[in-house]
Structure 1
């Protein structure tokens, strides 16, 4: 038995170490490294911070209501300004005729 062990021990040891390296290589391809996991966690935290800073649904609906009110006020002002604009054009035409 000792002769067999002395004769074949280097080959057995080489086979075991090679199989161990192959197993470690396969595991490194299967599982994520800690550095990669830390990078992903950092990006997720950044995205959470961005999502937390976004406006809420209530804020968005309030903004939409304010925009609708502003549009109505602008249309009303445009209707009120048209007669004044017409008078200003008439006065400008009169002024230009008088200068000739």
Structure 2
């Protein structure tokens, strides 16, 4: 027991150093709880954002509706072209009459 009293400070220092080395290695290996909580929060936000995005079917339906609208506009342009030409002729006639 004499040797324990004599070497106790050195044993305690060695055990403390070993414990600190183990803790340092563990802190480099494993993430802290705060870091995990931040990552989980960001993942939840991203999941909510992804859930709010339109589905492939909705995008396809939108594209089909846009194509129909484009076709309707082109049809209307063809129907309006003669009326626009007449309006332009009437405007030119009116401007000539005002001189």
Common fold by TM > 0.5: yes
TM-score of the superposition, structure 2-length normalised?
Answer: 0.95
- The answer for unaligned runs of 5 or more in structure 1 is none
Distance 2:56 2:2 in 1: 81
Q: Which residue number corresponds to residue 20 of structure 1?
A: 19
Corresponding pairs, count: 99
Q: Which residue number corresponds to residue 90 of structure 1?
A: 89
Q: Describe the superposition over 1:56-84 as per-residue Cα deviations: whole angstroms up to 9, x where unpaired.
A: 11111110100000000011111111111
1:24-43 residue pairs with structure 2 within 5 A? 24-43=23-42
Q: Describe the superposition over 1:17-45 as per-residue Cα deviations: whole angstroms up to 9, x where unpaired.
A: 11101110111121100011011111111
- The answer for unaligned runs of 5 or more in structure 2 is none
Distance 2:45 2:36 in 1: 14
Q: What RMSD in Å do the two structures reach over aligned CA positions?
A: 0.9
Structure 1 stretches of 4+ with a deviation exceeding 3 A read none
Q: Which residue number corresponds to residue 77 of structure 1?
A: 76
TM-score of the superposition, structure 1-length normalised?
Answer: 0.94
